[in-house]
Structures are given as structure tokens and as C-alpha cells.
Chain A
């Protein structure tokens, strides 16, 4: 039917249009990272000079290091603390539960800049020297609520008596926790961890206000370098895009591939 074909065509163009909108700037960023000249608008030939420059640039390598270390540590800590707290919340009295969930939502509902200045005022009034530690603390602060929010629904889906049953059978609370509850909520924990990692890796606003003494993460570096035309930023961005796309594709397509494998095995 012609009507249906028209509709299919419109749908196709609609989606293609949006995808083009999303990826064109990223593509231009990536293309010009290989430009032989310092321009971001006129192509002068292929070159990997900006990548060489990137790896030779101390400031950039240091920023990458800071970003990774802070992301990994904050993810680990916030995931552990968040998961354990979520378990605790699910087993607490209503009053405590409500209190924690409400306060927990402040960093989520507040605009980032408000959380950021609050922390800046805190560190400043306590005369705590800003640097990597303060950045780490800040990242844990804004990541943990998200972990809690991701894990809690999974806990709600659990049988409320399962831990008690395990302890009746002789398990210690720690064993019940480690061998029963956590394995059951693992998908939630992993989602929470992924969320925490991405939020930390990408963070700008909060890191900008709470770090100092020369400590920068990738976002802060891009912010300070963006005033001048510098294709090394493009090189860095390209690497980030490639890594993130790769990770996301794997995380999302792996379960599908596993399903296919199972189906094939039947």
C-alpha cells in the first residue's frame, strides 16, 4: 500500500534525521582530529600529529590519570556503600527509610551547581586543601545516591524473608548478605556501578568547583583548553568516544549475543 510505504519513508527520514543531528558534530570532531593543520574547519590532509601531541602532553596525560583513578575509586566505594545502604534501607523502619531516601535525593534533585558550591563552601570553611581527595569525596557524594536508587527497586523485588530463611538454616548475617542477597540483586548493583562510573568519568561542574592545586580531570582540561583552537582536544575526544561506544556496545549487545548462543545450542 502506498500509504504504508509513505509512512515507512517518513519514519526512516525522521530517525535518520535525528541520528544525523546527534552524530554529525561528533563525526566532525573525530574527522578534524586527524587534520594535518591546526584548523577545525578546513581539511589539510591526514595526520596523526594531534594524537602524538596528546600523548606527549603532560597535562593531558595527568588529567586522564586523574579522571580514571577518581572514577574507578569512586565507583567502587559508592557501589559498595550504596548497595549496603540500600539493603539496610529495605530492612529498616519506615521512618528511617523515608528520612534516608529523602535526604538521599538532594544531590539528585538539586542542580549540579548547587551541590558543587555547597561542597566548595564546606571544604573552604574547614580549610581542607582542594585536590584529588576532595574530588574523590565529591564524586562519591553524587554517585552513591544513584547507586542506592538503582539497587533499591531490585531489593523490593526480593522475597522479604529470604535472608531470614538463610539465617534460620545457620548462615551468619554476613553470609546471608554475601551469599544470598547480593547475588540476587547483582544486576542492579552492576547497573548502579556503571552509572556511577559514567557520572564520575563525565563530571565537570562538581569537579570544577571542588578541585584545585592543579588537579584537573578531563572535563576541566577541555574547559580550560577550549578557549584556543586545539585539535589535541579533538584527539582526546575521539579516543573517549571510541572507548565509550565500544563499552556500551559490549554491555548492551552481550546479553543479546548470549541469548542467540543459547538459542543456537538448543
Chain B
């Protein structure tokens, strides 16, 4: 069997070159300065120090805030939808899930771009409102537009995650709960919800991660003044040319994300353990 083990060797070389080295380069640039050419670097903490300015901390916090709101909205809308679909006639489930996931495959830029002509001051919604004499609603360039754009792009992932874990659930357990006299609400709260938690957690991961790091959605729907951490990084790398500072910001963002992933994974373990432990028969 060892012979098949050799199959991994090419990929290991590839990985070191194209996955490990780029990561190391980011770390290198983050801790050096005047480093747009790898040769002329000097070690420094300045790049990180530059980030600890109230303005940039605010950007980080705002990104987390927007991502959390987006994730929350996705759960609030996504869970009921996934639950309903998981409980309809099996024939409809495939079709409905297909309809829900098709937008996921459509280019994110195209999907976000579509909202501009809907939300703008002379866009579709405002044109309609004008025809019934309601003054223009300011939607573009607001928190609302950005969260809307994010929810629009990431909701299918949440629905898919939750639906998968709901569909996989053993119906026997639920039936047993009813047989033992529990009503719908009790069954849901004590059986369905806890057992579907892995799906919710994985959905949270699939939504929070891109939501906190995206720059397209804030740029299209929030305008140049709506700067989230992704925009800051893009700005430093593409416009300003301060790759050192940009790398430092990326590292900080990556750290924060790793921390939140770790925390959600712990939560996942705790909740699932509790649910499984609580169902001892």
C-alpha cells in the first residue's frame, strides 16, 4: 500500500510552494518595512503599531459588527426556510433546494451589481414609490444596503447547511418524542433544534467568514466611504501600495477569524455533546 502513498508527493511540493510560502511572505511583509522588494527589508513592529489607531480598530469592529448582523439575519430567515423545506413532501424538497441554491452558483459580482439599479435613488424601488407619491427612500450607500447585499449573497449557504443537517436527522427520534407525549414546540426545542446545531454552526462559518472579509459588497453598495477591513486591505495593496501595512492588517484579520472559528467549534462540541448527553435512553 505504500506505493499509493507516493501519490501525495507532487502535491506536497506544490503545497509548500503555493500555499505555505505565500503565507510566510505575508508574515514577512507584515513584520518588515520598505519591503516592496524582498531584498531590502528591515524588521519592525511599526505596521502593527499603525493599525492600533482608533480609526482602524473601528474598521475592524465595524466589519465584525456587520458580519454578525448578517449572520444573525441569515439564521433568523434561513432556519425557518430550511425547516419548512425539510418538512414538505419529499418530491418538492429537491426542487425547492435546487431553486434556493441556483443563485449561489451565479457570479457574486453580478448578483451584487443587480441590486445597484434596484436600490439607487432613481432605481426601481424609488421609481415605484414615486409613482404612488412616496418620497425617495435613501437605500444606497447605507448599512442597510450592505447588510442586504451580504444576506442576499450568503443566505443560500445558511439554508443549505441547516437543511442538510435537518434532512439527515433520524425521523425515528422525532417520532419517539411525539410518542412519548411531547408537543410540537417541545419536540422542536429539545430535539430538533439541538440536533440541527451542527448545521447552524457550519452555516455560521460559511456566512461569517466571507462576510467579515468581503470588499466587493461594501464597495458596490456602500460607496467609497464605507470601509470594511476587506476594503482597507484591498486599498493598501491595489491603490496605496503599502504592502507591509496591508500584510499586517491581513494577519490581524486572519488571527481574529481563526479565534472566532475556534470559539464556534468549541460551541459546536459543547452543544452537540449536551444534546446527545441529554438524550440518553
Contacts and interface: CB of A to CB of B under 8 A. Distances in A.
Interface of A: 11, 14-15, 18-19, 21-26, 28-29, 32, 40-42, 81, 84-85, 87-93, 96, 100, 103-104, 106-107, 109-115, 117-122, 125, 137, 141, 144, 163-164, 173, 177, 198, 201-202, 204-205, 209, 218-219, 222-223, 226, 229, 233, 237, 240-241, 244-245, 248-249, 252-253, 256
A216 B158 CA distance: 31
A24 B258 CA distance: 36
Contacts of A115: 22
B96 A223 contact: no
A106 B19 contact: yes
B103 A26 contact: yes
10 contacts: A11-B84, A29-B110, A41-B127, A87-B4, A104-B15, A112-B210, A117-B250, A121-B25, A226-B113, A241-B106
Contacts of A240: 106-107, 110
Contact of A88 (B8, B26, B77, B81): B8
Which of A111, A141, A163, A204 has its CB near the most chain B CB atoms (within 10 A)?
A111
Nearest to A32: B117
The 7 A-B residue pairs with the shortest CB-CB distance, nearest first, are A118-B22, A88-B7, A111-B213, A88-B8, A25-B114, A40-B117, A91-B4
A226 B85 CA distance: 36
A209 B114 CA distance: 23
Given A14-B81, A15-B84, A118-B22, A112 B213 contact: yes
B15 A222 contact: no
Contact of B23 (A23, A25, A88, A118): A118
Band of interface residues on B: 35 or more
Given A25-B152, A41-B122, A204-B216, A110 B38 contact: no
Interface stretch (B190-198, B229-237, B271-279): B229-237
A51 to B, nearest CB: 16
B246 interface: yes
B176 interface: no
B25 A113 contact: no
A252 B97 CA distance: 10
A166 to B, nearest CB: 12
A22 B4 contact: no
Interface of B: 1-12, 14-15, 18-23, 25-26, 29, 37-38, 77, 80-81, 84-85, 88, 94, 96, 98-103, 105-111, 113-118, 120, 122-124, 127, 152, 155-156, 209-210, 212-213, 215-216, 220, 230, 233-234, 237-238, 243, 246-247, 250, 253-254, 257-258, 261
Given A88-B8, A141-B18, A110 B110 contact: no
A25 B113 CA distance: 9
Contact of B8 (A85, A223, A244): A85
B210 A28 contact: no
Contact of B108 (A11, A87, A120, A202): A202
A87 B254 CA distance: 31
A14 B98 contact: no
Given A91-B4, A117-B247, A21 B105 contact: no
Nearest to A251: B98
A129 B88 CA distance: 54
Given A18-B77, A111-B212, A248 B19 contact: no
Nearest to B24: A118
Nearest to A137: B18
Contacts of B25: 118, 121-122, 125
B85 A15 contact: yes
A122 B18 contact: yes
B159 to A, nearest CB: 8
Contacts of A202: 105-108
B114 to A, nearest CB: 4
Given A87-B4, A96-B8, A226-B113, A248 B102 contact: yes
Contacts of B8: 85, 88-89, 92, 96, 100
Contacts of B105: 198, 202, 244, 248
A14 B254 contact: no
Contacts of B123: 40-41
Contacts of B15: 100, 103-104
B125 to A, nearest CB: 10
A14 to B, nearest CB: 6
Contacts of B155: 18, 22
Given A28-B114, A117-B246, A244-B105, A141 B261 contact: no
Given A25-B118, A81-B14, A41 B124 contact: yes
A187 B5 CA distance: 22
A141 B246 CA distance: 22
Contacts of B9: 88
B4 to A, nearest CB: 4
A111 B114 contact: no
A121 B110 contact: no
A170 to B, nearest CB: 15
A113 B230 contact: yes
